[in-house]
Structure 1
Amino acid sequence: MTKRQLILEDGTIFSGEGFGSSRKRSGEIVFNTGMTGYQEVITDPSYCGQIVMMTYPLVGNYGINRDDFETVTPFIHGFVAKEVTEYPSNFRSEESLSSYLEANDIPGISGIDTRKLTKIIRKHGTMKAIIADASESEEELLNELANEPEMTNQVELTSAVKPYVVPGRGHRIVLVDFGMKHGILRELTKRNCHVTVVPYNYSAENILRLKPDGIMLTNGPGDPKDVPESIEMVREVLGKKPLFGICLGHQLFALACGADTEKMKFGHRGANHPVKDLKLDKTYLTSQNHSYAVRKNTLNKTDLILTQIALNDNTVEGIKHKTFPAFTVQYHPESSPGPEDTNHLFDQFMTMIEQVNDKHEEEKTYA
């Protein structure tokens, strides 16, 4: 293995062994606390532009398989681990983690103190970092980081370019793709939905022309305020069709309704985040990946109701509209990876659609 270095924008330097691609790459350094699921993490579009570190000390031991991808093309800028298994052992394994990263031109670094790096991020917050060959000048690399502009086009990079259909005989769903995980599609097709996936910048008029029974807003990367056209689209479709949002879709829904969002110190990334349902007085374990959150105190001036909170830091995890059939959650009910405690939210969305349809049929009968 080649010697490689990871340099943070505050000047902290970690030296380790390189794996995957040999290219130099920079990005925002974040950590994920999951013990497994590195394949789903690497292929989650919500990590677009980020260098991802796994806090669990061993990754790659079960390789890469054909079934656990969350998108065809991974968008991460780098991968960090304490130890990487060179020869995986699992009946589903098709190739090693290193060979997969190399094939997708993603650099990795192992053999560093990931506990120390996690503590730095928790104390100082996420920051820019760069993975480069050990022979490169530290001073020049720090200058590169200092002049690196903030990414604002992550949603554009990860969204579908044009609409496409995943056919089914059930409810007709328009899925607005902000950087969608395939797990969301799997849950809808499992319920026999007819899904039309549209790009993030598809207009409200064109969405409604598709005559959907319901609209889903997917997860995605970056700051929700970087896609103002999507906020306006949500505002225009609200109340016209049942709506369900996840992660970035949740934040866009909140902004469309007059609430505000803010960047978190180091975000939520992992598969064991406890969330409490305030109405049911019930706690779920959830899979999460986000840098931004809805500001709780801004919900008061809106028509939104707080439905769920994170037990670790009391941040907003679920909201619904007071009058329209619309609800959203900050976490990932489709899991992939993670617990399936909140999988029932897709059924809740189906029930909401059926109730709205029944109401419309009743109104036609008595009209």
Structure 2
Amino acid sequence: MTERVDAEALASTLEPVVREQIPGAQEAKIVAWQRTERGFSTETYPFELEGSENSGAGFVFRRPPEISLFPDYDLRRQYLVSKRLAGTDLPVPRMLWIDNADNALGGPYYVMERIGNAEAPSDFPSYHTAGNYFEADEQSRARMWWGCVETMAQIHQLDPGELRLDFLSMPRFGDRPIEQAVNYLDWAVRWAAPSLSPVMEKALSWLRANIYEPEHVTLCWGDARMSNILYSPDHSVAGVLDWEMAYLGDHEADLAWMLFLDWACSEFEGHPSLPGTPTREQTIARYEELTGWPVRNLLFNEVLAAVLLSVPLLRLSTHLQLGEHADITAFCSRRLEQLLEHT
């Protein structure tokens, strides 16, 4: 078994593979190689080719992190979702190839085309304090926000069966979609940390006691937020990214995720949403208008979102032995306290 190649040697190791895989790149050299700061559950490296028919074109290399932040991390799953969404109207990057075998890079990876002249809003620091959303005017911010909501609604209108996405269901965790989601969370969060806080235990118990039957089971993006969208200079949606958390479930989970993370990026951090940002109520109303589906289980799905995001954060905290001195899950716990206060 080939050892995992260090980050410093990735580009030189990948270069001969690129020459074989990409037409017209037989003499190409990888240039502009860098690790992106976005995301933490998958290592991502944009690059370009010099001395080929593809000079100037952009590509992206992705591989699993050295320490997996989810117990069921599967690079092939996110590759297949993107590949099968290529025939829809969603602007997903074109997948080029995936290698899950014992290879020169020492582990699975895939390469895709990069969507050029587009940028995602900032995660760290918050898009309410830096980046293209912060720099936009009020009208453009509203356009970006609504672009994310419209993309989400578009995803939920797709037919998972027709797209051959049935593999995203989780039958090992139960017979019903919400039961599956709750059982998965219970398993994943206990995998991530040796012990759980009282509010986390309370949240899991509350979720289990409030399992319901969703009216619609759809493809869930899993990580629905503006920072997973590439926006063109005119602030229109140019690309939809990151499907590693995709699953089949209640579409309201994506709406809850977006609202939860925006709360974390604004109110929790102690600063207001930027002018032009639609309100929570406006967002829910617009989503209902786009889908024709009333939003009925948002509280449940916001609790679900806060527990789900705790999984990679608890895993990271446990691995780095951060202890109580650097609680990176504080915003998840705080939101759970707010949501469960009157339940």
The interval holding the TM-score normalised by the smaller chain is 0.3 to 0.5
Structure ranking higher in strand proportion: 1
TM-score normalized with structure 2 length: 0.33
Structure ranking higher in helix proportion: 2
Q: Which has the higher contact order (CA 8 A, sep 6+)?
A: 2
TM-score normalized with structure 1 length: 0.32
